[in-house]
Structure 1
Amino acid sequence: MADFTEQNRQYFDKMASTYKDNFANVVESLSNLTRDRRLWMSDKWTDTEAGKGQEIKMLEYACGPGHVSIALAPYVTKVIGLDVSDNMISEFNKNAQEANLSDKMTGRKGDLLAESFSEEMNSPEIFDFDLVVISVALHHFENPGLAMKRLGERLKKGGVCFIIDFVPAQHHEFDKEFAEAGKTVKSHGFSREQTWELFEGAGLSEGFEYEVIQEPINFTKDGKTFEKTIFVAKAKLV
């Protein structure tokens, strides 16, 4: 598991400084989707009756440069981004500062699939979240079930886990064009049944929903555009 994580770390370290520009369409699509779906994923935000006046903590795991966190940060009191890539964490914190959100957004290096955790990862601050988000990253985890279980352990009771990822698909031209990225991929999408099993195994069995997004997201490389169909899913910790 350590070798696979290291492969991911190296790849995303290399991608970090250009990710926002190279995948501008994806960043915009995921940011808009997350913002538009926030009331679907939870009714507890700083601007809603259910969350008004409360501390609302959010964790984005495998946060990358933080575009999803930036989309949701105005509606929570605190966001922590965790990623195995040092360079992605640097981009996360830089982008938070540029968005004037560094007062509530902090990125830290962290690996929930590690055999043992650092003192910082065992800090009470990295527990009791109201919301955990994993955006187009679950397919990179060597053990998605273990990742979900450990994320579930960091939610407070009634907290929500929200996932965006790819629906299952056969290999096609996309995989050839993004062959280097393919080396960091463990799962080629998740069906409704597979996603339910991941949630249930993590104790996240209340209010499960899985919805395929009809409008695909577009990846562009060397003038070519490739479409990928994504889904959103959510459930609460009971």
Structure 2
Amino acid sequence: MAEHTEANRQYFEKLAKSYKTDFQKGLEAICRQVDSRRSWISDIWTNTEAGNGKEIKMMEYACGPGAVSLTLAPFVSKVVGLDVSEGMVSEYNKNAQEAGFGDKMTALKGDLLAETIPEELPGPEYFDFDIVVVSMAFHHFERPDLAMARFGERLKKGGVCMVVDIVPASDDHHHHHHHQGPHRVEHGFGNAEHTVKSHGFTEEQMQQLYEGAGLTGFRYEVMDEQVVFHKEGKELIKTLFIARGQRV
């Protein structure tokens, strides 16, 4: 497992400075979809009756440059980002400062999926989250079941774990007709293939992961816009889902 984490770390370290630009359109689409589903994800935000006057803590795991954190930061009190790549942590903190959220958004390097949790992460500030967000990272995890269990442990009672990831290509035709354009269209992962452990998750697979971690109130929706990533002169077109479940 450590070997696979290191492969991910090295790959994303190289991408850190260009990630936001390279994947800009895809990140914007994800953030639009997340923002439009905020009330579907949870009813506890700083601007809702259920969240009014409460301190609302969020963690984004495998946070990258923090696109989803920046989208949700206006509606929470505090955001913690965690990533195995120092370069991504640096980009996240820079983006938080530039967006004026430096007082509530901070990332640090950390691996919650290690067999032994790093000593800085058992502290109370890394527990009792109202929401844990994982966007476009589950397909890189060697053990998604362990990941979901670890995220569930970090939630407070009633807290929500939200996952954005890929609908498997075999399941995809139920949802969309693929775009055909002048560019070469790829349905793999290009040069990221060696870091990928799963080619997406069906609704049934995600439900098993949530229930296996003791999370309830499971919901899964396929996003209504496909996401196009440009890599190595090719278009990678993915259909994504958003899922949620909460700790009881």
TM-score by length of 2: 0.91
Counterpart in 1 of 2:8? 8
User: Structure 1 CA distance, aligned partners of 2:108 and 2:52?
Assistant: 27
Task: Supply the distance in 1 between the matched residues of 2:202 and 2:21 (Cα, whole angstroms).
Answer: 30
User: CA offset at residue 173 of structure 1?
Assistant: 2.6
What are the residue-to-residue correspondences of 1:6-45 with 2, within 5 Å? 6-45=6-45
- Secondary structure of the corresponding residue to residue 183 of structure 1: helix
Comparing 220-229 with 2-11, greater Cα deviation is found at 220-229
Is the counterpart of residue 184 in structure 1 residue 180 in structure 2?
Answer: no
2: CA distance, partners of 1:20 / 1:118: 28
- Tell me the matched-pair count: 234
Alpha-carbon distance between aligned partners in 2 of 1:10 and 1:119, rounded to the nearest angstrom: 22
* Match among 212, 231, 244 for residue 221 of structure 1: 231
Cα separation, 2, equivalents of 1:203 and 1:221: 37
Between the aligned partners of 1:138 and 1:195, the Cα distance in structure 2 is 10
CA displacement at 1:223 relative to structure 2: 4.6
CA contact (8 A) 2:29 2:225 kept: no
Give the one of 213, 217, 227 matched to 1:202: 213
Give the drift of 1:167: 0.6
1:86-124: CA deviations, max 9, x gaps?
Answer: 100000000000000010000011111112122211111
Distance 2:137 2:192 in 1: 12
| Contact 2:156–2:247 (CA under 8 A) maintained in structure 1 | yes
- Tell me if the contact between 2:111 and 2:118 (Cα under 8 Å) persists in the aligned partners: no
Unaligned runs of 5+ in 2: 171-184
Aligned to 2:175: none
- The match for 1:174 among 173, 187, 200 is 187
Distance 1:97 1:169 in 2: 38
Helix, strand or coil at the partner of 1:12: helix
2:241 counterpart letter in structure 1? F
Query: Residues 222, 182 of structure 1: CA spacing in aligned structure 2 closer, same or farther, 3 A cutoff?
Result: closer
CA displacement at 1:224 relative to structure 2? 3.6
Looking at structure 2, the residues matched to 23 and 226 of structure 1 have their Cα atoms a distance apart, in angstroms, of 11
RMSD: 1.2
Task: Determine the C-alpha separation between the residues in 2 that align with 1:224 and 1:61.
Answer: 28
8 A Cα contact 2:33 2:223, kept in partner: no
Which residue of structure 1 lines up, in the alignment, with residue 59 of structure 2?
A: 59
Cross-structure match for 1:212: 222
Q: Which residue of 2 aligns with 1:133?
A: 133
